[in-house]
Chain A
Amino acid sequence: MYQVGNLVKKLSDKHGRKRESLMPILQGIVEKHNYLTDEAMVEVAKELDISAAEVYGTASFYTFLDTQVRGKYVIRVCKTITCSMKGKNEIIQTLEDILKIKVGETTSDKNFSLIETNCIGWCHKAPAILINEIPYTELTPEKIVEIIKGYLHK
């Protein structure tokens, strides 16, 4: 588990301790650690003097504020219509094969998580994925292998 106390304090100092600061603080934690641990959410609740259930409620509303363990690189495959028509399933199949995980899972070395996402706005260059915040578009199985290789060597 990652240590989050100082980060939460730093983010609260930066954004303020009002209720409306909750989102930027949660985003700040996710930016750094990819997901929110229970400890992180409790820490935020304490800092903003709101309930932990409320923090969890907000976090669980947003797909990009994960409350489950996520790897260093979160791969989000667009699952909406255009990407589906342009070969999303092949992309997922390829990713599952090279990472040896299913959609929704994280590799045992905690390097990659594979999940599906709703439209990320790259329909004109479908199929598209996000790896953390970087979009990769007009994908083919060959291209995706190369991209993942790049991350493996990072």
Chain B
Amino acid sequence: MTINLNINDQKVSVPRGTTVLEAARKLNINIPTLCNHADLCVAGNCRVCVVEQKGARTLIAACAMPVSEGMDIYTNTLKVRNARKHIVELLLSEHRSDCTKCYKNQKCELQALANEFAFGDTIFLDLVEDHNYTIDRSSPSFIKDDSKCIRCQRCVRTCSELQYISAIAVSKKGSHQKISSFHNRPMSHVVCTNCGQCVNRCPTGALVEKTYIDQVWDAIYDTEKHVVVQTAPAVRVALGEDLGYDPGERVTGKMVTALKQLGIDSVLDTDFSADLTIMEEGTELLTRLKKALVDGDKNTVLPMFTSCSPGWIKFIEHKYPQFLPNLSTCKSPQQMFGALAKTFYAQKRHLDPSKIVSVSIMPCTAKKYEADRPEMRASGYKDIDFVLTTRELAVMIKQAGIDFRNLEPSRYDSVMGESTGAGVIFGATGGVMEAALRTAYEIVTGREVPFNNLNIIPARGMDGVKEATIKIEGCTGDWKFLEGVELKVAIAHGLTNANKVMKLVKSGKAAYHFIEIMACPGGCIGGGGQPIPTSMEIRKNRMKAIYSEDEHMVLRKSHENPEVIAIYKEFLGRPNSHLSHELLHTHYVERENY
């Protein structure tokens, strides 16, 4: 049913249930918002979006008010302007406004509003000093600074709605109200997965990634050190957003050039180790299937879960520890790369591994935590020294005064810089599954996976949970036991969706063989380290770019990556070999559920 109303004396017709805010947007009338976020439910707590309704006693919050027939809304009256100014001033009175020193300077939504509304002297007292605010630096991934929190609760809604964790919730009330973990414990000691989705949605500097930019500069300036960088697949389709491009622009070649200009000694690709992951994980899956289906081995459990996403790993460690044996033992591509950088790469390039500084550029904040895990020292050193987010790389490029737009593209260095389209699509939800199927199907049958142009469409797209069944036919040699087997797979992204799948698995109702799970909405393209803002539309554009990157690759199957073939020949032996297990596989830890 259509509702007719007037906003600033302009007629607009919208479906019932539309909010005043959405109706105004339809007319290109901008109403400022703060607690509102496209990915989250309506909260209506910041009041910045107040507007005047003719005949109403009080101002109304446009984000929360559904339209009704004949409404007369005014968005820019004196009453509205004064109220908004006071609202922003009140928010600022409880916000530590050390803007020039803040990590979010110029990227802060509150600062932008202050710029519009609260110029000049304020009539309100600054209350920040009266509060005993704390700064929680315990997580290696992010910093939570309560003195900058305006309690809009975007983070709380993110953690609950998108991620089903609620590591943080609203505690206490009134002037004592605070976003806190269970009993105010340090974030490193609670159920938090370090996914950084809250960081992506915090409008102020209250939640920001923990930055390692200075440490990386130090390594670059240290002539003794050899700095190796790997870039994750999802970075190349999002970095541009922080450097003036529209979402969905592929800037792979320019990014490589920029990294070289920063002074990185060797610019390499996580896509290489993504291809390697497919070899290891694909082999692990086939071995598991054989053990479970043919040998009847009781210790081999199915379904097997992917293990690339460190947010997902921590989620299952906290929430479903009984399913840890179902996790692939494969390290994530970042960590496989790290273990090889200080062993294989060091040997190849005749370098002392103690002089190598291994840096990864990730769309992810949980990767910072992953790199710090005690298990991740297989090379005898810390396999990954520093993890930078996509956002941090953009900052470094700006700091170096690089004219990114006018850079000539260049190619990754070697070794460990070669990749295939299968490695690239790791960046989107369903990508690991698609890459694994492209290789596993061919290993088993000797033929390409039966989808047009290798594009496994059922694995793609933004549906929260995707399922596919692939009938395996024409098996060769050792794989005869899989003849006629219908391989059932599932894919979930965002931990709320992961939880749905886990509930199914726990109930025993789902007979999946293989499940891909990514902690973030859309997969890594929507990661907690990606440029801000984020929305479904932005993530879809990044996803499109990932698949277009894949389409443009000459090689699109992991097992055809020449450097992957070479590393098995020269160094690792074969997938799941003894050395592979030592360097590329890991184990997991049961954690408390709070």
Contacts and interface: CB of A to CB of B under 8 A. Distances in A.
Interface stretch (A25-33, A48-56, A89-97, A139-147): A48-56
B231 to A, nearest CB: 35
A54 B166 contact: yes
Contacts of B180: 53, 56-57, 60
A51 B172 CA distance: 16
Nearest to A37: B183
A42 interface: yes
What is the size category of the interface that chain A forms with chain B?
10 to 19
B232 to A, nearest CB: 29
A59 to B, nearest CB: 8
Interface string B276-302: 000000000000000000000000000
B167 A53 contact: yes
B594 interface: yes
Contact of A50 (B166, B167, B168, B170): B166
A53 B593 contact: no
A51 B171 contact: no
A38 interface: yes
A41 interface: yes
Contacts of A61: 170-173
Contacts of A55: 182
A38 B183 contact: yes
Contacts of B182: 38, 41-42, 51-53, 55-56
Interface string B179-202: 011110000001100000000000
Contacts of B165: 51
Contacts of B594: 42, 45, 51-53
B174 to A, nearest CB: 10
Interface in A100-124: none
A67 interface: yes
A57 B168 CA distance: 9
A53 B173 contact: no
A57 B171 contact: yes
B169 interface: yes
Interface string B451-479: 00000000000000000000000000000
Contacts of A14: none
A54 B171 CA distance: 8
Interface string B150-184: 00000000001000011111111100000011110
A53 B181 CA distance: 5
A149 interface: no
A125 interface: no
B75 to A, nearest CB: 34
A46 interface: yes
A51 B173 contact: no
Residue of A42, A52, A67 with highest tally of chain B CB at under 10 A? A52
A52 B192 CA distance: 12
B172 A53 contact: no
A67 B183 contact: yes
B186 to A, nearest CB: 13
A51 B183 contact: no
Nearest to B592: A42
A65 to B, nearest CB: 11
A38 B592 CA distance: 13
A52 B167 CA distance: 8
Interface string A34-47: 00001001100110
B166 A60 contact: no
A61 to B, nearest CB: 5
Nearest to A54: B169
Residue of A42, A50, A56, A61 with highest tally of chain B CB at under 10 A? A56
Nearest to A51: B166
B167 A60 contact: no
A114 B181 CA distance: 27
A51 B164 CA distance: 9
Contacts of B593: 42, 45-46, 52
B167 A51 contact: yes
Contacts of A38: 182-183
A53 B173 CA distance: 15
B182 to A, nearest CB: 4
A40 B377 CA distance: 38
A42 B593 CA distance: 8
Contact of B172 (A41, A45, A46, A60): A60
A55 B594 CA distance: 10
Contact of B169 (A42, A46, A53): A53
B138 to A, nearest CB: 15
A57 B170 contact: yes
Contact of A56 (B173, B183, B191): B183
B169 A57 contact: yes
B562 to A, nearest CB: 48
Contact of B168 (A41, A45, A53, A60): A53
A52 B190 CA distance: 9
A17 B169 CA distance: 20
Contacts of A45: 593-594
A60 B171 contact: yes
Contacts of B183: 38, 41, 56, 67
Nearest to A38: B183
Contacts of B169: 51, 53-54, 56-57
A46 to B, nearest CB: 7
B192 to A, nearest CB: 9
Contacts of B173: 61
A53 B160 CA distance: 11
B171 A52 contact: no
Contacts of B160: 51, 54
B165 to A, nearest CB: 7
Nearest to A63: B173
Contacts of B190: 52-53
Nearest to B164: A51
B528 to A, nearest CB: 19
B546 to A, nearest CB: 32
Contact of B191 (A41, A46, A51, A60): A51
A148 to B, nearest CB: 30
Contacts of A42: 182, 593-594
Contacts of A60: 171-172, 180
17 contacts: A41-B183, A42-B594, A45-B594, A46-B593, A50-B166, A51-B169, A51-B182, A53-B169, A53-B190, A53-B594, A54-B169, A55-B182, A56-B180, A57-B169, A57-B170, A61-B171, A61-B173
- Which 5 pairs from chain A and chain B are nearest by CB? A51-B166, A52-B594, A57-B169, A52-B182, A53-B169
Given A57-B170, A61-B172, 10 more contacts: A45-B593, A51-B160, A51-B165, A51-B167, A51-B191, A52-B190, A54-B160, A57-B169, A60-B171, A60-B180
